[in-house]
Amino acid sequence: MKNNPIIPYILIMAFGIGLIFFMSMEGVGNKEEIAHGGEDVAEEGGATAEEGAGGAELVSACIGCHGGDLTGGMGPDLHGITDVEHIKNVVMNGQGQMPPVVQDEAEAQAIAEYISTLE
Protein backbone atom coordinates (compact mmCIF):
# COMPACT_ATOMS: atom_id res chain seq x y z
CA MET A 1 0.00 0.00 0.00
CA LYS A 2 1.40 3.33 -1.04
CA ASN A 3 -0.15 5.91 1.28
CA ASN A 4 -0.44 4.03 4.49
CA PRO A 5 -2.83 6.19 6.59
CA ILE A 6 -1.01 5.34 9.79
CA ILE A 7 2.30 6.92 8.78
CA PRO A 8 1.38 10.48 9.84
CA TYR A 9 0.46 9.20 13.29
CA ILE A 10 3.77 7.42 13.63
CA LEU A 11 5.57 10.59 12.61
CA ILE A 12 3.64 12.63 15.17
CA MET A 13 4.39 10.04 17.83
CA ALA A 14 8.10 10.07 16.99
CA PHE A 15 8.09 13.85 17.11
CA GLY A 16 6.33 13.81 20.47
CA ILE A 17 8.83 11.42 21.99
CA GLY A 18 11.68 13.51 20.61
CA LEU A 19 10.13 16.63 22.12
CA ILE A 20 9.74 15.03 25.55
CA PHE A 21 13.35 13.90 25.44
CA PHE A 22 14.54 17.33 24.37
CA MET A 23 12.55 19.07 27.08
CA SER A 24 13.87 16.83 29.84
CA MET A 25 17.42 17.54 28.66
CA GLU A 26 16.59 21.24 28.70
CA GLY A 27 15.32 20.89 32.26
CA VAL A 28 18.55 19.33 33.47
CA GLY A 29 20.56 22.07 31.77
CA ASN A 30 18.48 24.80 33.38
CA LYS A 31 18.83 23.23 36.79
CA GLU A 32 22.60 23.42 36.51
CA GLU A 33 22.35 27.00 35.36
CA ILE A 34 20.17 27.91 38.32
CA ALA A 35 22.53 26.19 40.73
CA HIS A 36 25.39 28.08 39.14
CA GLY A 37 23.57 31.40 39.27
CA GLY A 38 23.16 30.96 43.01
CA GLU A 39 26.88 30.46 43.44
CA ASP A 40 27.65 33.62 41.55
CA VAL A 41 25.38 35.65 43.80
CA ALA A 42 26.97 34.16 46.91
CA GLU A 43 30.44 34.97 45.64
CA GLU A 44 29.59 38.63 45.27
CA GLY A 45 30.20 38.80 49.00
CA GLY A 46 33.91 38.71 48.26
CA ALA A 47 36.01 35.70 49.17
CA THR A 48 35.51 32.38 47.43
CA ALA A 49 35.18 29.10 49.30
CA GLU A 50 38.78 28.13 48.56
CA GLU A 51 40.10 31.27 50.21
CA GLY A 52 38.01 30.67 53.28
CA ALA A 53 34.49 31.91 52.75
CA GLY A 54 33.50 35.42 53.78
CA GLY A 55 30.69 36.21 56.18
CA ALA A 56 28.39 37.42 53.43
CA GLU A 57 28.67 34.02 51.79
CA LEU A 58 28.45 31.96 54.96
CA VAL A 59 25.13 33.49 55.99
CA SER A 60 23.55 31.29 53.33
CA ALA A 61 23.33 28.85 56.27
CA CYS A 62 21.05 31.30 58.10
CA ILE A 63 18.54 32.40 55.47
CA GLY A 64 16.35 29.34 55.86
CA CYS A 65 15.25 30.64 59.25
CA HIS A 66 16.15 34.33 59.27
CA GLY A 67 14.90 35.13 55.76
CA GLY A 68 16.72 35.79 52.47
CA ASP A 69 17.76 39.29 53.51
CA LEU A 70 18.12 38.27 57.18
CA THR A 71 15.28 40.58 58.22
CA GLY A 72 13.55 37.71 59.93
CA GLY A 73 11.53 34.62 59.16
CA MET A 74 10.94 31.89 61.66
CA GLY A 75 13.97 33.38 63.48
CA PRO A 76 14.29 37.07 64.41
CA ASP A 77 15.55 39.99 62.31
CA LEU A 78 19.38 39.98 62.43
CA HIS A 79 19.82 43.60 61.45
CA GLY A 80 21.02 45.99 64.09
CA ILE A 81 22.70 43.36 66.29
CA THR A 82 26.17 44.82 66.83
CA ASP A 83 27.56 42.50 69.52
CA VAL A 84 29.97 40.24 67.61
CA GLU A 85 30.64 38.01 70.64
CA HIS A 86 26.92 37.46 71.17
CA ILE A 87 26.32 36.52 67.53
CA LYS A 88 29.33 34.23 67.52
CA ASN A 89 28.11 32.52 70.66
CA VAL A 90 24.58 32.02 69.30
CA VAL A 91 25.87 30.69 65.99
CA MET A 92 28.20 28.17 67.64
CA ASN A 93 26.08 27.13 70.62
CA GLY A 94 22.51 27.89 69.58
CA GLN A 95 19.98 29.82 71.60
CA GLY A 96 16.39 28.87 72.41
CA GLN A 97 14.82 27.49 69.24
CA MET A 98 18.00 28.00 67.23
CA PRO A 99 20.35 25.03 66.97
CA PRO A 100 24.14 25.44 66.77
CA VAL A 101 24.79 26.15 63.07
CA VAL A 102 28.55 26.59 62.70
CA GLN A 103 31.33 24.69 64.46
CA ASP A 104 34.32 26.44 62.93
CA GLU A 105 35.33 29.43 65.05
CA ALA A 106 36.85 31.39 62.17
CA GLU A 107 33.64 30.95 60.20
CA ALA A 108 31.54 31.98 63.18
CA GLN A 109 33.75 35.06 63.56
CA ALA A 110 33.37 35.97 59.87
CA ILE A 111 29.61 35.55 60.08
CA ALA A 112 29.35 37.54 63.29
CA GLU A 113 31.41 40.40 61.88
CA TYR A 114 29.26 40.47 58.77
CA ILE A 115 25.99 40.39 60.72
CA SER A 116 27.21 43.18 63.00
CA THR A 117 27.57 45.46 59.96
CA LEU A 118 23.92 45.03 58.92
CA GLU A 119 21.88 48.07 59.86
- Quote the least distance from Cβ 48 to ligand HEC, whole Å: 18
In the bound state, the residue with its beta carbon closest to ligand HEC is: 96
How far is residue 50's CA from residue 63's CA, in Å, rounded to a whole number? 22
Q: Does 64 contact ligand HEC by CB under 6 A? A: yes
For the chain, the farthest-separated pair of C-alpha atoms sits apart, in whole angstroms, at 86
- Quote the least distance from Cβ 112 to ligand HEC, whole Å: 7
> Which residues lie closer than 8 Å to 91 by C-beta, 6 or more apart?
100, 101, 102, 108, 111, 112
Q: Does 91 contact ligand HEC by CB under 6 A? A: yes
How far is residue 61's CA from residue 111's CA, in Å, rounded to a whole number? 10
Q: Does 87 contact ligand HEC by CB under 6 A? A: yes
Cα distance between the two ends of the chain: 80
- Quote the least distance from Cβ 105 to ligand HEC, whole Å: 13
- Give residues in contact with ligand HEC (CB under 6 A): 59, 61-62, 64-66, 74-76, 78, 81, 87, 90-91, 95-99, 101-102, 111, 115
